[in-house]
Chains A and B, each alone.
Chain A
């Protein structure tokens, strides 16, 4: 059975590990100081794809939309076992909300054309929306299975997966092509040492040009491609017909941000209770008196 799996991944600021260095003096987060990481749920998505590759011999393509340096997580995907990578990068995507993002990614999926399974992490830790996966499925008019824990069986034209529901789980069977969103129910494999040696040289055409100081020739790119070291780099024009450009970026996004307020952590004016038997006795008595405790 030949099977192509397209995994969408995202580079995100590490919002879960905000340390002192990433805080501005006013108590708000300095986003620029946060390290860029492979979105955690997307590592689970990649792992699920690689497990299917191990079991069924699938080809795994990892794709991302992001700035040029998002090529870093594609190299990481190669280190872990991905076969091909695509970077979708263009200023035309700036300001995309989930609808515009899912539209652009659905066009990448269409261009890859023969993907039997599309896998996304459930959600990214910068926005926490969990919307892009289901919206790509809708745009492609294919079924979705959300919150997948494991794939139980894959046959030509059919997949069976176990997925989480509130208070339990379900086993669902769907025709392919299908889109899966994945929760952190597996342990992503580490980067493979042999693959690191090979794929640390993998680059986008822009990265090659930047290193060289001039654009790479067609021959050089063909050579990189032959060795499996070329990270494909697509602009908006490569993936999306021009008639559909209005559906990208700001113009393709129905939502606007009216206001953003930083959560400021500062000293509050709490009443301090002495950690002594006497202090706590008096305090507990007060709470009983005012019926907080009763």
Chain B
């Protein structure tokens, strides 16, 4: 490949029994934007057992120009070593410019192994991606059209922009829920490129003995209205109020980490850096102080109402509406007001 010609934008497709993870579709949307800016194609990288090919139609509708398909029963269920080997071989053959992974448990154990094998940089858990030029002062060169990899660090207290200055691909994992998913274009199609699966006993040495898994029953990402409770709710009993308000408004209940740690609600409902990232139409934060660890997961909500008895709580700095008061009194008043008006 000549120096003026750059590779395509790749999206690693995460799937479980043929069901594609939302984050992979979100990445196709952002991948298309990046590819358009660079004048290259968006390609989905799909690995799995027999029948995984069925996913291709959906990938085309969500924005893939091509699907690189590796269909082999040794790729089901997911294990790191075979996936890393197949993708590393594909990178050597095609040299993509950018390779995007979801910052899921799978993405975050697979991507580092691949980056290390290819001697390329990897930025974890990005919340934004852009194309821009980068002046590498250490080497005294201007690098054009590089991927700006933007992520919180230091417990969410800083936002860093990171650039890979070595050979492509530029690799990142991206937090689920932060990139907007475009509407699928029905009937859109593309090319399926079958890929070789060259595995030896070394890559298949780790065996899955047992696998217990359930689909999550909570889907916070789909909720338009979220009512979340924090440590300020005070007790498991008071947490009932959060559920009542969510029920009354037709919303979904959620929580910050301290409320989960206190055992008032399950981890599946946690919003924030170590939970889910959401962007609903309305987010009502009740008794949540607003640490960066929490706001990292909800600051993009369209409207934020904060209810807190502490007027200095940092949550008010990102809220659109603030109610400074005791949530035990405020929430019943809200429920009553809504029921009488709606």
Chain A interface residues (CB < 8 Å from chain B): 13, 15-16, 18, 28-29, 31, 97-99, 102, 125-135, 137-139, 143-147, 160, 164-175, 181, 250, 253-263, 265-268, 270-277, 280-281, 283-285, 287-288, 292-294
- Interchain pairs with CB closer than 8 A, number: 244
Closest-CB distance, A159 to chain B (whole angstroms):
10
Report the 4 A-B pairs with minimum CB-CB distance, sorted nearest first.
A275-B325, A15-B155, A254-B121, A168-B213
Bound-state CA distance A160–B323 (Å) is 53
Main secondary structure of the interface of A (DSSP, over half): mixed
Contact A144 B156 (CB under 8 A): no
**Contact status B116-A102, CB under 8 Å:** yes
Beyond the given A172-B206, A263-B156, please list 6 additional residue pairs across the A-B interface where CB-CB is below 8 A.
A15-B156, A137-B113, A143-B206, A255-B123, A268-B317, A281-B333
Closest chain B CB from A223 CB (angstroms):
41
CB of B192 to closest CB in A, whole Å: 27
Given the contacts A166-B106, A258-B134, A131 and B124 also touching, CB distance less than 8 Å: yes
- Give Cα A28–Cα B134 distance, bound, in whole angstroms: 26
B162 within 8 A of A: yes
Q: Which of B194-214 contact A (CB under 8 A)?
A: 205-214
Q: Which B residues lie within 8 Å of A99 (CB)?
A: 115-116, 119, 121-122
User: Which of B104, B116, B207, B215 neighbours the largest number of chain A CB atoms within 10 Å of its CB?
Assistant: B116
Q: Which of A28, A259, A284 contacts B161 (CB 8 A)?
A: A259
Residue of B80, B158, B293, B340 touching A260 (CB-CB under 8 A): B158
- On whether A257 and B161 interact (CB within 8 A), knowing A147-B109, A275-B329, the answer reads yes
B144 at the interface (CB under 8 A from A): no
Cross-chain contact B160 with A275 (CB below 8 angstroms): no
Q: Give the contact-size bracket for chain B.
A: 35 or more
Q: Does B41 sit at the interface, judged by CB under 8 A? A: no
Q: Return the chain A residue nearest B329 by Cβ.
A: A275
| Interface residue? B148 (CB, 8 A) | yes
B97-131 with Cβ < 8 A to chain A: 104-106, 108-109, 111-113, 115-117, 119-125
